[in-house]
């Protein structure tokens, strides 16, 4: 089998299809790493994934979260189930105070920056 990996921002994203034609799709990242004879360690996968466009990183993150949810064999305690149901009910009733994602992330970044500034002082 002839290996044909091209790169986008240094990330191999093209893998020869079964018919020998190159197919460009960032979802081929991991098979491409395997075909190239590289060990797909956490660091290697992370390095390549971080170079992908935001949309592709988001798709990968969503799929990884789904895979963890699918594999989650941990039984939730009755107290946590009740808490989750209570929160969901308040959302459905419109009594919950919801905060937009950008505001939450801006606050997280602000707190992390303040924490880092405190360490370097």
Q: Report the pLDDT averaged over residues 50-76.
A: 84
pLDDT for res 104: 95
| DSSP, residue by residue, 54-109 | HHHHHHHHHHHHHHHHHH--PPPPHHHHHHHHHHHHHHHHT-S----HHHHHHHHH
Q: Report the pLDDT averaged over residues 15-44.
A: 54
pTM over 0.75, yes/no? no
Instruction: Tell whether 85 and 110 lie within a shared domain.
Output: yes
Q: At what angle do helices 42-50 and 54-71 cross, to 10 degrees?
A: 140
Share of the chain above pLDDT 90, in %: 42
User: What sign does the CA torsion over 82, 86, 91, 92 have?
Assistant: positive
Instruction: Tell whether 83 and 56 lie within a shared domain.
Output: no
Instruction: Tell whether 60 and 84 lie within a shared domain.
Output: no
CB of 40 within 8 A of CB of 49?
A: no
Judge whether 99 lies within some domain.
Answer: yes
Strand partners, 11: 8
Instruction: Tell whether 82 and 58 lie within a shared domain.
Output: no
Counted domains in the chain = 2
Instruction: Tell whether 16 and 64 lie within a shared domain.
Output: yes
Instruction: Tell whether 98 and 58 lie within a shared domain.
Output: no
Judge whether 39 lies within some domain.
Answer: yes
Instruction: Tell whether 100 and 50 lie within a shared domain.
Output: no
Average pLDDT of the residues of the chain: 75
Q: Which structural domain range is residue 113 located in?
A: 78-120
Instruction: pLDDT band for 76, please (50, 70, 90 cuts).
Output: confident
């Amino acid at each position: 089998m002839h290996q044909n990996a091209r790169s986008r921002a240094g990330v191999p994203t093209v893998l020869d299809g079964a018919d020998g034609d190159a197919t460009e799709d960032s979802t081929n990242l991991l098979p491409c790493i395997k075909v190239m004879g590289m060990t797909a360690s956490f660091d290697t996968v992370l390095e390549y994934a971080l170079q992908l466009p935001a949309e592709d990183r988001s798709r990968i993150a969503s799929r990884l979260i789904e895979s963890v949810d699918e594999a989650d064999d941990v039984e939730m305690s009755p107290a946590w189930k009740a808490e989750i149901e209570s929160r969901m009910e308040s959302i459905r009733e419109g009594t919950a105070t919801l905060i937009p994602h950008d505001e939450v992330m801006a606050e997280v970044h602000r707190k992390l920056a303040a924490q880092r500034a405190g360490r370097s002082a």
